[in-house]
Amino acid sequence: MNNEHQNINTQLSSQEEAKVKEIYEDLAHWHVNTGDQTIHAKRMGGRFRQLKWFTASLWLSYFLAPYLRWDGQQAILFDIPDRQFHLFGLTVHPQDVWLLSLILILMAMVLFGVTAVAGRVFCGYFCFQTVWTDIFTWIEEKIEGNPTQRRKLDQGPLNGDKIKKKLIKHSLWTLIGVLTGVTFAAYFTDAYQLWIDYFTLNAHMSAWIVLGLFTLGTYFLAGWLREQTCLWLCPYARIQGVMYDRTTILPAYDAVRGEPRGKVKDPNRGSCIDCRLCVAVCPTGIDIRQGQQEGCITCGLCIDACDSIMEQVNQPKGLVRYASLNELEGRTDKPLLKRPRVIVYTSIILASFIGVIYGLSTMSAIDWHVLHQRQPLYTMMSDGTVQNKYTFKILNKTESEMRAHVEIKGPSDIAIIGIEDTIVLRADKMVPFDVYLRADPKQLPQEHTGITFILTTQTEPPMTFTYGSVIVRPAR
């Protein structure tokens, strides 16, 4: 370590020295988050900052998706009254709940797998809490200035300027909260009509409740609580620790290279000049130099900050970098695919993915159930035939009406009664109806004789669905 420190260049040009002095002065008051103060993190450029903007921009799709149309229908619609989920022409019914469960498992496993490999990157780059907070604090900076100016404004007297700035900021925050709420509600009803209903005060009570909750929630969580939510409230922050191991790659401070930290002129210092810029930019207000912490959302902003300092003091970048504990301690990491938890997560992800693809590709246009009546199992008719009763439940899962024909396959001479030659299956509807089978009991070889109902649609091309059941006669 000492050899390394001897190589530290403490000779800076007067210009570089002035810059570093400015940084020291600017950051002298910065302290780690103790939960009792609003965090006003410093904003600066860098590759992770850019990545964060890019991933945040993907959330624009959240605001736009409800207005997309597919075959004349809303492309994404959670139709709660009809218990259906429409997704780009595909309709998922409660009967397909296994498919939704698989999709949820798939999403959870992707999250766990990513966490095992690279920590809370979801939190740092994509979580709605951090993304919305980032937008809110960006607005705050545009209106109230940099963190120092914001602190001064907060502590200063209530004057015209302060009232004006606060009013603009809180109005914009509320507006984003309202847009977030309307958008969420728009996934559950016709999005265009919803706006009309809100403006004409004709929206359903549930739409108002959703709007109220989301506006308040967004305003409070992203405007007031900010990353305190990540540090103190988020349950995921609490459980992520069990997914980490010594090979997980996280933003980390290279203490071997950085310590002992010291002021830039100190010839015995390590690479860390103790400028605290990494603390100042941290949205959760933690000091990465204290090691891995559950408050770290792995956003990488401290890496950008430290790299910029290393550049200024003519030292190699990467004092703070994405690295595993093994790497920092000079051990070799196991290859990614030899880590048991990565193998387990990957296997579950693959299995769920295959299940989802299979489910989507084999999802039937018709869901059909035939219930054989139990009480009584059969009725003897006056002409000597035996009659069985069945309830048909046919759900047409498509968006258009269909016509179909039902026939029976089994021992000959089974009459089917109570059903038209052509039945009409209304779009997205299931109307149960009763059907009777009549047969000469002597023609039925067994007490419970197997039969098959065959339903053929009059579509182009026709679709055929079969349902196995039994016809029952008295014992001989």
* Local structure of 437: helix, strand or coil: strand
Residues 155, 159, 164, 169: what is their CA dihedral angle, to the nearest 10 degrees? 10
Among 91, 133, 284, 312, binds ligand SF4 (CB under 6 A): 284
In the bound state with ligand SF4, the residue whose beta carbon lies nearer, of 297 and 430, is 297
Among 117, 237, 243, 277, binds ligand SF4 (CB under 6 A): 277
Per 3-state DSSP, the chain is made up of helix, strand and coil in percentages (nearest 5) of 45, 20, 35
In the bound state with ligand SF4, the residue whose beta carbon lies nearer, of 21 and 448, is 21
Q: Is 231 in the site for ligand SF4 (CB under 6 A)?
A: no
Q: Is 296 in the site for ligand SF4 (CB under 6 A)?
A: yes
How many Cβ atoms are within 10 Å of 203's Cβ, its own excluded? 21
Site string for ligand SF4, 308-347 (x = CB under 6 A): -x---------xx---------------------------
Angstrom distance (rounded) from CA 360 to CA 373:
33
* Neighbouring-strand partners of residue 462: none
**Binding window for ligand SF4 (CB under 6 A); candidates: 14-22, 198-206, 298-306, 365-373:** 298-306
Q: Which helix (H) or strand (E) holds 448?
A: strand 448-457
In the bound state with ligand SF4, the residue whose beta carbon lies nearer, of 223 and 300, is 300
Q: How many residues bind ligand SF4 (CB under 6 A)?
A: 30
Smallest separation, CB 168 to ligand SF4 (Å)? 28
Among 231, 252, 306, 370, binds ligand SF4 (CB under 6 A): 306
Angstrom distance (rounded) from CA 64 to CA 73:
15
Among 231, 234, 275, 472, binds ligand SF4 (CB under 6 A): 275
Q: Is 121 in the site for ligand SF4 (CB under 6 A)?
A: no
Smallest separation, CB 272 to ligand SF4 (Å)? 3
Straight-line distance from the first to the last Cα atom of the chain, in angstroms, rounded to the nearest whole number: 97
Q: Is 66 in the site for ligand SF4 (CB under 6 A)?
A: no
Angstrom distance (rounded) from CA 60 to CA 42:
25
Distance of CA 156 to the CA centre of its chain: 40
Q: Is 272 in the site for ligand SF4 (CB under 6 A)?
A: yes
Q: Are strands 402-409 and 423-425 parallel, antiparallel or unpaired?
A: antiparallel
**DSSP state for residue 241 in the 8-state scheme:** G
Cβ atoms of residues 415 and 406 within 8 Å: no
Closest CA to 184 of 200, 205, 219, 208: 208
Smallest separation, CB 157 to ligand SF4 (Å)? 33
Smallest separation, CB 119 to ligand SF4 (Å)? 9
**Binding window for ligand SF4 (CB under 6 A); candidates: 203-211, 216-224, 250-258, 445-453:** 250-258
Among 182, 194, 273, 402, binds ligand SF4 (CB under 6 A): 273
In the bound state with ligand SF4, the residue whose beta carbon lies nearer, of 229 and 396, is 229
**Binding window for ligand SF4 (CB under 6 A); candidates: 97-105, 200-208, 283-291, 362-370:** 283-291
Among 203, 222, 305, 423, binds ligand SF4 (CB under 6 A): 305
Smallest separation, CB 302 to ligand SF4 (Å)? 3
What is the largest distance, in Å, between two alpha-carbon atoms of the chain? 114
**Binding window for ligand SF4 (CB under 6 A); candidates: 64-72, 293-301, 390-398, 456-464:** 293-301
Q: Is 131 in the site for ligand SF4 (CB under 6 A)?
A: no
Closest CA to 373 of 474, 476, 469: 469
In the bound state with ligand SF4, the residue whose beta carbon lies nearer, of 99 and 301, is 301
Residues 351, 354, 355, 359: what is their CA dihedral angle, to the nearest 10 degrees? 180
Phi and psi for 184 in degrees, rounded to 5? -60, -45
Smallest separation, CB 197 to ligand SF4 (Å)? 41
Q: What stretches of 65-190 show up as alpha helix (H) in DSSP?
A: 97-118, 121, 128-144, 147-155, 160-186
Cβ atoms of residues 186 and 66 within 8 Å: yes
In the bound state with ligand SF4, the residue whose beta carbon lies nearer, of 128 and 465, is 128
Angstrom distance (rounded) from CA 336 to CA 125:
22
**DSSP state for residue 264 in the 8-state scheme:** T
In the bound state with ligand SF4, the residue whose beta carbon lies nearer, of 181 and 283, is 283
- Using only C-alpha atoms, what is the Rg of the chain? 33
In the bound state with ligand SF4, the residue whose beta carbon lies nearer, of 268 and 459, is 268
Angstrom distance (rounded) from CA 173 to CA 167:
10
Give the tokens for residue 464.
Answer: 């055929």
Q: Is 269 in the site for ligand SF4 (CB under 6 A)?
A: no
Q: Is 370 in the site for ligand SF4 (CB under 6 A)?
A: no
Burial class, 475, CB count within 10 angstroms (exposed 0-12 / middle 13-18 / buried 19+): exposed
Smallest separation, CB 370 to ligand SF4 (Å)? 58
In the bound state with ligand SF4, the residue whose beta carbon lies nearer, of 289 and 389, is 289
Smallest separation, CB 337 to ligand SF4 (Å)? 26
Q: Which residues bind ligand SF4 (CB under 6 A)?
A: 251, 253, 258, 261, 272-278, 281-284, 286, 288-289, 296-302, 305-306, 309, 319-320
